Amino acid sequence: MTASTPRTPTRIALITGGSRGLGRSAALALAADGVDVILTYVSNEASAQAVVSQIEAMGRRAVALQLDVGDSRAFDAFARSLKAALSATWQRERFDFLVNNAGVGLHANFEDTTEAQFDMLYNVHLKGAYFLTQKLLPLINDGGRIVNVSSGLTRFSMAGASAYAAMKGAVETLTRYLAKELGARGITANTIAPGAIETDFGGGRVRDNAQVNAMIAGVTALGRAGQPEDIGGAIAGLLGEGSRWVNAQRIEVSGGMFA
């Protein structure tokens, strides 16, 4: 680089639920691609700080902030904390990428799903993603990107996931509207839809239950359940420069489940 060559600004990603599972994998994959990371956690600060340390060991900067995406009353305070972190760590007022990843699982048949369980899923997956994105829009750079994490369960149906899949279906619709309405600012919005992944999500059923794992492998074209790195790498790729023209899309990353 010559003295006259402008330096490319550091890209910063905010990943909700970045202390474990798919969020952690996405944070590490983005750091490997030269992106700095702000990640959120609900209660396990130690796990979040461990991810921060891993990212810093890769030569990138990272910050962990507490946030319960199921409590929209906390979003004003979170936005203030985010502004402070951007100023203190990057001397910036805005960030580039928002990954709405935080979520909770529920496995319950339709007739057994309670209103309280439904409301919990709604608050985290739909209301949380909707109003957190709205709150943070002034802090997202023009030309930025939004990735909302959905699920393969919006394409295929498996018993016990009606409420969860309904929320994710709404998230996919929301994503298309974000792409439409934010296009004037050059902001893209896309959905990543993972298949069954071996994490602690939903009590770790896919990871820890050998029968469930074998069933998933049997209906997947690539012959195995997914790993967190399969999704983290896909998110990083969607946020890479080569995907700048991808917009308003649902991208399933399932290894070909029920292909």
Domain locations in the chain as residue ranges: 12-251
pLDDT value of residue 14:
99
| The one catalytic residue among 41, 130, 164, 177 | 164
Does residue 35 surpass a pLDDT of 90?
yes
Place of tokens 């992944």: 197
Tell me the percentage of the chain whose pLDDT exceeds 70.
97
Q: In CATH, which of 3.20.20.70, 3.30.70.20, 3.40.220.10, 3.40.50.720 is domain 12-251?
A: 3.40.50.720
pLDDT value of residue 169:
98
pLDDT digits (tens, 9 = 90+) for 85-143: 999 999 999 999 999 999 999 999 999 999 999 999 999 999 999 999 999 999 999 99
The rounded mean pLDDT for the chain is 95
Is residue 164 among the annotated active site residues? yes
pLDDT value of residue 130:
98
CB atoms within 10 A of CB 171: 23
In this prediction, residue 8 has a pLDDT band, given cuts at 50, 70 and 90, of confident
Query: Whole-prediction pTM value?
Result: 0.95
Report CA-CA distances (Å) from 62 to 19, 23, 197.
12, 14, 25
Helix, strand, coil percentages in the chain from 3-state DSSP, rounded to 5: 50, 20, 30
Q: Where are the beta strands (DSSP E) in the chain?
A: 12-15, 36-41, 62-66, 95-100, 140-149, 188-194, 250-253
Does residue 7 surpass a pLDDT of 80?
no
CB 252 within 8 A of CB 155: yes
